[in-house]
Amino acid sequence: HVLMVGAGRPSKFSKETAPLGTRAHFTGHREDVEMYIAAMDVVVCTSTKGEGLTGSLREAMALAKPVVSTTVSGNPEAVIPGKTGVLVPVGDEDALAQALMCLLSSPALAKRLGLIGRRLALRIFPDSKRARVMEALYREVVR
């Protein structure tokens, strides 16, 4: 399944997701995004414009999820290739597909990237309320 969470128009992706049929899900903007991230195998950020380190990546990393992100703005500061995730150039669909296939076909690698990313996220944002909430959520999900 493909789960798209956040602002945006589902119609923008209808042609690309048509082959997935009912396996493509669009939630729109959500305040409870952590619950969706907790259910994901891999979190992808395909931002094309600078917006600093995205909140979704911080949340995904704190939940020990492997991430694939474009190289925009602050994302490369946290997504360290081969250590905390995979970076792909903006607009490079082949690189994005390869990164996803790599992580989905190698659960051990995905888990390692997620755990290292989690340690980094909790170190970078140790005092944030969101980090504490995500820590509690992570512990609940792991049980």
Q: What's the CATH code of the domain at 70?
A: 3.40.50.2000
Assigned domain for 124 exists: yes
Contact by Cβ (8 Å): 6, 56: yes
Which pLDDT score is estimated for 38? Answer: 87
Assigned domain for 21 exists: no
Domain carrying residue 39: 31-142
Assigned domain for 9 exists: no
What is the tens place of the pLDDT at every residue in 1-32? 887 777 777 677 777 777 888 877 788 787 88
Give the integer Cα–Cα distance in Å for 73 and 14.
Answer: 28
Assigned domain for 43 exists: yes
Q: Give the helix ranges, DSSP H, for the chain.
A: 14-17, 33-38, 55-62, 75-78, 93-105, 107-124, 129-142
Higher pLDDT, 33 or 76: 76
Assigned domain for 83 exists: yes
Whether 110 has a pLDDT exceeding 60, the answer reads: yes
Which pLDDT score is estimated for 117? Answer: 94
Assigned domain for 17 exists: no
Assigned domain for 20 exists: no
Residue count (the chain): 143
Give the integer Cα–Cα distance in Å for 140 and 136.
Answer: 6
| Ramachandran sector of residue 85 (left: φ over 0; alpha: ψ -120 to 50; beta: rest) | left
Give the integer Cα–Cα distance in Å for 21 and 128.
Answer: 39
pTM assigned to the model: 0.80
Give the integer Cα–Cα distance in Å for 60 and 86.
Answer: 13
What is the tens place of the pLDDT at every residue in 51-82? 666 778 888 998 999 999 999 888 888 899 99
